[in-house]
Amino acid sequence: MKKVVKKNQPQRTQRKISLGPRFLRAFEFAAKNHKGQTRKASTIPYIAHLMGVASLVLEAGGDEDLAIAALLHDVVEDCGGAPMLKEVRRRFGARVAKVVEGCTDADTFPKPPWQARKEKYIRHLKAADADTKLVSAADKLNNVRSILSDYRAIGESVWSRFNGGREGTLWYYRTLRDVFLRHERNRITRELELAVQELDALAGGDPTSNGR
């Protein structure tokens, strides 16, 4: 009997991914540096987000370096700035540091104004390497899924948590979706596209709008 192959079926990696002591050290490093931090307007420990991003990266076929970068993708932005990047490079190597840097939209405090910072990050992401795009897309997917969950629970008040408000936040994730979809699609970018579509539908937004 001839086997039927479904089109557009997500491809799972057949390569075995090994996670060793470096990954455990990265988890401990992330947990220590993000200790006391929570997700926006919640009591959820911030490490939950980092674990979620690492899980998405691994499910999409990312290797140990990329899983480590996923755990550490916010450590420069939220836990020490440029000196922290040097520490990441020293502890976990140049490839991990490059991806962490590529996922960072500010390494100074206070951060630059929200709109200019996000526009600069989008420009940077367009030219970023595949490793950075994979981890960044996983980060954004995890964020959008959290927004969706919170929106279902509390409705429009969810937008007060974000510097960009309703319109700015929708613009940002629509634009990121479009940037990722210009390149080769993968498990994460397909899921991000669906999540942003769902957010638009729930929020009653116009997906063709630039949001500003």
125, 148, 110, 27 alpha-carbon torsion, rounded to 10° = -80
Residue 165 belongs to some domain of the structure: yes
d(CA 63, CA 121): 24
* 3-state secondary structure at position 211: coil
Residue 15 belongs to some domain of the structure: no
Do 183 and 143 contact (CB within 8 A), yes or no? Answer: no
Cα 49 from chain centroid (whole Å): 9
Q: Which domain holds residue 143?
A: 21-203
CATH number (domain holding residue 65): 1.10.3210.10
Residue 14 belongs to some domain of the structure: no
Active-site amino acid positions: 77-78
Rounded to two decimals, the pTM is: 0.89
Q: What angle do CA 198, 199, 201 make, to 5 degrees?
A: 65
pLDDT(98) > 70: yes
Nearest one of 175, 176, 182, 180 to 211, comparing CA atoms: 175
Residue 188 belongs to some domain of the structure: yes
d(CA 6, CA 178): 25
List C-alpha distances in Å: 206 to 9, 63, 117, 142: 28, 37, 24, 22
56 forms beta bridges with: none
Do 40 and 161 contact (CB within 8 A), yes or no? Answer: yes
Residue 10 belongs to some domain of the structure: no
Question: Each residue of 5-59: pLDDT tens digit?
Answer: 444 444 444 567 889 999 999 999 999 999 999 998 889 999 999 999 999 999 9
Q: How many domains does the chain have?
A: 1
Residue 187 belongs to some domain of the structure: yes
Query: For the chain, where are the alpha helices, taking DSSP H only?
Result: 21-33, 47-59, 64-71, 75-79, 82-92, 94-102, 114-126, 130-154, 165-181, 187-203
Average pLDDT value over all residues in the chain: 90
pLDDT given at position 14:
52
Angle between helices 130-154 and 165-181 (to 10 degrees): 140
38 forms beta bridges with: 45
pLDDT(212) > 60: no
Looking at residues 114-140, what average pLDDT do you find? 97
